[in-house]
Amino acid sequence: MILEMYMKNCALIEESRLTINSGLNILTGETGAGKSIIIEALGLCLGEKYDRSFLRKGTDKGVCEILVSSKSSNLKEVLDKYDIDYDDDEIIITRVIYSDGKSVARINGRTIKMSILKEIALTFIDLHGQHQNQALFNKDTHLKFLDLFGGKKLDLPKEEYKNTAVDTDTEAAVKKEFVVDEEAVQAGKEFLQKIFHSMKIEVVMEKFVNKADSTVTLKLHGPDMGILIGKHGQTLDALQYLTNLVANKNSSERIRIIIDVEDYRERRIETLSRLAVRLADKVKRNGERVVLEPMNPHERKIIHMALQNDRRITTLSEGEEPYRKVVIELKK
């Protein structure tokens, strides 16, 4: 259980120490009294994502800290796994937050990765809320919950399964390996070369094969490449679409070709991810939803992925193609 909680420079709280008794503890108060601040500070101690708007205005550093007492064998197992010292079944979890958006997590004074903190937190607490919890949405804990629910009745079926289950690594090894249809790729390259010749531009093409996602990337280099990108990559997307049509016209197995100009696609992902975070911060400050300009499905996915772990923000797509837009708003 959590014995004590300490907060400094967290939202409206300058400094506060909370003692938690065994049994049921209830936090009550009017809207704005600070109940949510306590829960959010607790979430930071459990490894949740830090939003710098949580830091008290006018300060450079804040601290969230909890004193935990637990006799859980699972907790001790994880602590031993990462060589973290502990005494008398107690640990102190500290999360230091900074104005630049960075944070540091420590257990008993030792700095640890956020992934380790989350793994440790799951052994002694489950935080429930209208839109959040620590364990139920974590697929890594689902089997453990089922095992606990089934108890000893599952021992025999589990043992039989272990003896008969197919080894997934072996199964994956015998899967058909991705083989590039060179004729299809060549057809796509020739199509592009004709376009570049008509445009009177010199382009060097490099081919990269990604077996992990079964794609072929054609990277284009040369002077004045901006004309091939267009506004927000619209020209590049059109070239890629037409190239895939040509490449797959006579191919027995569908091949996916990605066209990139001077690493534009990687830069675009970074730009959209930063835009998503910046607009999400604006939504948190103002409480008003933000509607982005129309985007293609790939770019909408980038926005959704960038904000999927923000527990205060939700994203959705509205409208019909090709004018479908992403909406960023506060969770209700």
CA distance 294 to 321: 9
Q: Is the Cβ–Cβ distance between 72 and 125 less than 8 Å?
A: no
Mean pLDDT of the chain: 85
Of 35, 33, 65, 40, nearest in space to 55 by CA: 40
Q: Is the Cβ–Cβ distance between 117 and 105 less than 8 Å?
A: yes
CA distance 238 to 270: 21
- The maximal CA–CA distance of the chain, rounded, in angstroms, is 78
The contacts of residue 106 (CB under 8 Å, 6+ apart) are 93, 94, 95, 96, 112
CA distance 46 to 329: 25
Q: pLDDT by residue (tens digit) across 25-39?
A: 888 888 777 888 998
Name the percent of the chain lying above pLDDT 90.
Answer: 42
Structure tokens at 92: 């102190």
Q: What sections of 248-289 are H helices per DSSP?
A: 264-286
Q: What is the DSSP letter of 152?
A: G
At 214 the pLDDT is 82
Q: Is the Cβ–Cβ distance between 34 and 13 less than 8 Å?
A: yes
Say how many Å lie between the first and final Cα of the chain, rounded.
30
**Strand 290-291, strand 325-330: pairing:** antiparallel
Q: pLDDT by residue (tens digit) across 89-99?
A: 889 999 999 99
At 231 the pLDDT is 83
Q: Is 175 helix (H, G, I), strand (E, B) or coil?
A: coil
Q: What is the DSSP letter of 258?
A: E
CA distance 236 to 239: 5
Residue range 187-198: average pLDDT? 92
CA distance 239 to 235: 6
Residue 116 has pLDDT above 60, yes or no: yes
At 78 the pLDDT is 87
SS3 content of the chain, % helix, strand, coil (to 5): 40, 25, 35
Out of 30-39, 192-201, 282-291, pick the least confident: 30-39
Residue 227 φ then ψ, to 5°: -65, -25
Structure tokens at 160: 């039989």
Structure tokens at 1: 């259980």
The pTM for the full model equals: 0.43
CA distance 155 to 158: 5
**Strand 204-210, strand 61-69: pairing:** unpaired
**Segment holding 330, helix H or strand E:** strand 325-330
Residue 41 has pLDDT above 70, yes or no: yes
Tell me, rounded to whole angstroms, the distance of Cα 66 from its chain centroid: 26
CA distance 196 to 224: 12
Q: Which residue segments constitute the domains of the chain, with CATH numbers given?
A: 2-134 (3.40.50.300), 182-262 (3.30.300.20), 266-330 (3.30.1370.50)
Q: pLDDT by residue (tens digit) across 161-181?
A: 766 655 555 554 445 566 888
Residue range 247-262: average pLDDT? 87
**Segment holding 314, helix H or strand E:** strand 313-318
Of 57, 61, 55, 60, nearest in space to 37 by CA: 55
Which residue type occupies 139? K
Residue 51 φ then ψ, to 5°: -110, 120
What single string gives the DSSP state of each residue in 110-123? EEE-HHHHHHHHTT
Residue 132 banded pLDDT, cuts 50, 70, 90:
very low
Q: Which position has the token pair 């990139």?
A: 260
At 325 the pLDDT is 92
